[in-house]
Amino acid sequence: MVEHNPTGKHILIDIDNAEYKYLNNEIIIVDMLDAMCRMSGATEICKIIKKFSPQGITALLLLEESHISIHTYPEFKKAYIDIFTCGSNADPISAVVLATEFLGGVISERRDIPRGVKFGK
């Protein structure tokens, strides 16, 4: 028996054919995370950004509701984004469209995972 009591929304996005110049630009990545936070109605706590040499960025936006993270691979024109919000105050689904607006490319895969599924007898 599976009891479904959603406690959050979790969206995983794979982006292909994104622009190198955006994927490797810290300012663009931070602007995108900020916009995704605002669009979803979430509240930022802090952000951490790591730019790699010669390319690539990993960034985490810690939210009161959970997090938004991104890992970019400019050399492959790819990015992987993880948006997780707990509760009902924030809606990460509304922020998904911003990913391709900021990075170019296309969403090649999207997975929506309801969190809070409980397994029992």
Residues annotated as part of the active site: 66, 71, 86
Tell me which residue has tokens 């984004």. Answer: 81
Q: Which of 98, 105, 48, 45 is nearest to 74 (CA)?
A: 105
Helix (H, G, I), strand (E, B) or coil at 30: helix
